[in-house]
Structures are given as C-alpha cells and as structure tokens.
Amino acid sequence: MSRLIVVSNRVPQPGAPSTGGLAVALRAALEAEGGIWMGWSGKTCPDDEDPGFTLHQNGAITWALSDLTERDLAEYYQGFANSALWPLFHYRLGLTEFARGDSAGYHRVNRLFAERLAGMVRPGDLTWVHDYHLLPLGSELRTRGISGRIGYFHHIPWPSPDVFLALPGAERLLQAMTAYDLIGFQTAVDAQNFEACLLRALPARRQGADMVCGTRRFRVGAFPISIDTAGFERRAAQAAGEPTLRRMRASLTGQRLLIGVDRLDYTKGIPERIGGFRRYLSDYPDQAGQVSFLQIAPRSRSDVEQYEALEREIATLAGQLAGEWGRLDWTPLRYVNRAFGQNVLAGLYRQADVALVTPLRDGMNLVAKEFVASQDPGNPGALVLSRFAGAVQELGNGAIVVNPYDQEAIAQAISRALAMPLPERQSRHTAMMRSLRANTVFDWCRTYLTALEGHEMGLEKLPA
C-alpha cells in the first residue's frame, strides 16, 4: 500500500498535539494514508560524533528524527538556509551572506537526510518535501534509487531571476530541483519567477503544462496555503470568556485596538509598521488616548546576527514611541515578545478593530487569514494588508491594501480602517470569508497531493 512521507526541517513533537494549521493538516493526511514524518530532532551533538537517528511510532505515523552536529546546524541552518536563502528569497540581497562552507554544509545535511530516508521509502510511496532548507533533497533521493513520486512545496516567495541568480551555486540548486515531479508555490507569480529562472539558467523548456529539462519532466504550479477556517471561527467565538482576554479588554478602557502578530523577522516590516503608527499619531493627534496598538512578536532565530540587530531596532523604536506619546494613563504601543496559544490568539484577533499585516515580502502570511476568520461577522474588524504578501491574492478584495514601505500610506490606512462604516466592514469581511471557506489548509493539502499523485510520471512518455 502506498504511504505518504513528509520531510521538513522542523517536525512537531511526536507525542504532543499539533496546534498550527499546517501541522494539523499534514498530520491528518499522514494518519489517513499511514506514513512517515522526517526532519531534524531539534538536538545537536559534538562534531566528532555521529548524529543520532531515532524512530517513534505513534498510531499510523512513524516519526523519523535526525540529530545534527553543531557544525551541521551552524552551516546548514543558521548559515546557508537562514543567512543566505531566507534573505535572498525575500528580495533582500543586501542581507544575503554567502559562504562556500555554509553551502557545502547545506548540501551535506541534505545528503544525510536522503541517506536516512532512502532506506525507509517503499515503491509506491509519495514523498512530500517542504521548504527552502531542503531544496536538493529530491535529487539526493533520486541518486539513491528512489523512483517514486517526489513533490516539493516552497513556503516562501520565489524571486525573479535577477535576484535568484545572484546566489553563487544557484544553477546547481535549480538543476537539483528538476528531480521533483511537482514543485508547488504560494502564488502564480512565484511559480512564474521559478520557471523564468529555469528557462534562463538551464537548458529547460515548457511542454504543454509541464517543464522539461534533460531527461526530467515535471510540473510547476501555485497551491496557496491556508488555515483551518472553521477551527479559527469556532475558537474565536468561544475565546471571549478567557480570563486573559477579559483582563485585556478591561485594560483598554474603551480604546480602539490595532493588532500586529508576527515572528520577529525583518521580512515582516515591524519597524516600518511602528513608524506608520507613529505617523498616524502625528497626523491625527486627537486620536492620542483613543487607540492602542498591540504588537506581538515572539523572538525567532536569535542566534542569527541580523535578528539580534532587529530586536534592538524594534525595542528602540517602541521605547521612543512610548517616550514621545505615552501618558500617565495611556500606553500607545504594547509590545510583547511572547507566543500565545491558538485560542488566546483567536480571541485577541476578534477583539481587535484593525489588523496591521504589513510584511515587506511574505510567501503567504497566515496571520492575515487567521484574523479574518476570527472576526465576529456581526461587527468585523478591518484588515490592512501588504501588497507584497501572498495572501493579497485571495484577500485583496476585502482588505485595505498598502505598500508596507510607505509609512504615510500605513497611517492613512489606519485612519480609514478605524473610520470604516459597519456595512462596508461586513461586505469586505464576507468577500474575504468566501475565499477562506473555498480554500482551507485541508483543501490545500488534498489539492497538492492529488496533483502529485495524478501527475503522469516517467520519461518513457516523453516524445523523442
């Protein structure tokens, strides 16, 4: 019987319940088909030891967890993946730090994962690789004789060839990716950019719906990821009674609430957003004391230097804003570095009048979708959304769309969102909910796997 094999850098804790929509959906697919979820265990060992590899069986799922040496982690994860690929894929060439040693470590860890996985894959299994940490994994699996279907989904943007091909070794990565049968992106623009890279850098060509390169034939497409829409609606409606949320509401003493929720990352546009709010206060000084901005930003990747610098920058901006505008009885910005459970988050979204989702570049951005699904349909909040988030493709019909680099535009959008009459908020909310009901994270998973399973394989089918 065919099974599903999911590979991702991070893997949810085997015994613990999954909370994020993606983990829930993948787990459901694995439970339905039976299968393996493989990835990094989160543990490291000294460089002179062999990294451990453990299997845990939990119901129909086998969790296959590989440790990494400290050097592996530094070169593959902090180095190549998060200091070179992450900024590059988000159009930040100036932040991209390329080092040959990191690139070598990245390919070495992909080989390690492939060696460990190859022994477990059976004929007929579907393998689904996730995200930029593992671009060459499919090719490493092919080298080890895996001929079944292998798909890849890219969670972050894919830039134009002018940006991507600035990366030393870009051609090698593209060539490796031709080993997949289906390469999925968040948006049609990302898929087009990827095809443009292939056409520019490799002897690749389009043939009908497929791309062909040498002896490989594969498909490239857009599969926008989404959320557990009904789950968020339910959680948000039930959350009102949570003590944390009741205290939060009481502390607002009638002020309107703006909310931002992001991992602390330079792609999310947090300094620009704080700048936009500051501009709003100076453009509409009568609103001082009437509006409060809650920015939730749990720290991430603090071991990468640029993230430390960003933490300092945001802390400074938050402090300046508080010093300049704060009153004895009013704090304009509540800046919180911790993570919250999904129930509290859903309740906070529902309590907010406006969400500011203004990344400088984002593959999709699930926070925008979660905010919309959490609203009270009788009195929904308004969404201010960056034109550079993948989510704008589905939510652009109901959001106030802004250029996140334009702080005056953010200030105007805040004013417009806060003043928006109820019928307009409702019609915008209805339009966005239509998109979110039509494509949930479960639909995303099913659509992708159906496409991977259905894709005609085999080179023998290629015309001579």
Residue 32-71 contact track with ligand ADQ, rule CB under 6 A, x = bound:
----------------------------------------
The sign one gets for the Cα dihedral 76, 82, 83, 85 is: positive
| Binding status of residue 364 toward ligand ADQ by CB under 6 A | yes
Nearer to ligand ADQ, 125 or 272 (CB): 272
| Binding-residue total with ligand ADQ (CB under 6 A) | 19
| Binding status of residue 225 toward ligand ADQ by CB under 6 A | yes
Nearer to ligand ADQ, 272 or 370 (CB): 370
Terminal Cα distance for the chain, rounded: 33
Cα-atom radius of gyration of the chain, to the nearest Å?
Answer: 23
What DSSP designation does 327 have?
A: B
- Nearest in space to 187 (alpha carbons), one of 51, 56, 364: 364
- C-alpha distances out from residue 226 to 210, 261, 328, 352, Å: 25, 17, 42, 21
CB of 86 to ligand ADQ, least distance (A): 9
Catalytic residue annotation: 155, 362
Residue 83-122 contact track with ligand ADQ, rule CB under 6 A, x = bound:
----------------------------------------
Nearer to ligand ADQ, 214 or 298 (CB): 298
CB of 40 to ligand ADQ, least distance (A): 17
| Binding status of residue 173 toward ligand ADQ by CB under 6 A | no
Query: What is the CB neighbour count within 10 angstroms for residue 341?
Result: 13
- Nearest in space to 447 (alpha carbons), one of 230, 221, 149: 221
Give the bridge partners for 7, in sequence order: 38, 129
| Binding status of residue 156 toward ligand ADQ by CB under 6 A | yes
Binding region for ligand ADQ (CB under 6 A) out of 141-149, 193-201, 364-372, 435-443: 364-372
CB of 368 to ligand ADQ, least distance (A): 8
For residue 275, give the 3-state DSSP assignment: helix
Nearer to ligand ADQ, 121 or 225 (CB): 225
CB of 21 to ligand ADQ, least distance (A): 6
CB of 212 to ligand ADQ, least distance (A): 28
Nearer to ligand ADQ, 248 or 288 (CB): 248
- Residue from 2, 18, 20, 284 in contact with ligand ADQ (CB under 6 A): 20
- Residue from 65, 261, 410, 420 in contact with ligand ADQ (CB under 6 A): 261
Query: What is the CB neighbour count within 10 angstroms for residue 56?
Result: 13
CB of 3 to ligand ADQ, least distance (A): 23
Q: Which residues contact 414 (CB under 8 A, 6 or more apart)?
A: 258, 276, 277, 280, 291, 354, 356, 384
Nearer to ligand ADQ, 22 or 400 (CB): 22
What is the secondary structure of 20-77 as a DSSP string? SHHHHHHHHHHHHH-EEEEEEEEEEE-TTSPPPEEEEEETTEEEEEEEEEHHHIIIII
Nearer to ligand ADQ, 84 or 212 (CB): 84
Instruction: Give the whole-angstrom CA distance, residue 422 versus residue 378.
Output: 9
124 neighbors 457 (Cβ within 8 angstroms) = no
Name residue 6's amino acid.
Answer: V
CA angle 265-266-272, nearest 5°? Answer: 115
Nearer to ligand ADQ, 35 or 363 (CB): 363
| Binding status of residue 370 toward ligand ADQ by CB under 6 A | yes
Instruction: Give the whole-angstrom CA distance, residue 406 versus residue 279.
Output: 11
Tokens of 8: 């991702």
CB of 269 to ligand ADQ, least distance (A): 12
Binding region for ligand ADQ (CB under 6 A) out of 134-142, 235-243, 357-365, 405-413: 357-365
Binding region for ligand ADQ (CB under 6 A) out of 73-81, 120-128, 136-144, 365-373: 365-373
Instruction: Give the whole-angstrom CA distance, residue 211 versus residue 169.
Output: 21
- Residue from 345, 385, 399, 409 in contact with ligand ADQ (CB under 6 A): 345
Nearer to ligand ADQ, 321 or 366 (CB): 366
- Residue from 363, 380, 381, 398 in contact with ligand ADQ (CB under 6 A): 363
223 neighbors 444 (Cβ within 8 angstroms) = yes
| Binding status of residue 257 toward ligand ADQ by CB under 6 A | no
Binding region for ligand ADQ (CB under 6 A): 20, 22, 155-156, 225, 261, 263, 296, 298, 339-340, 345, 362-367, 370
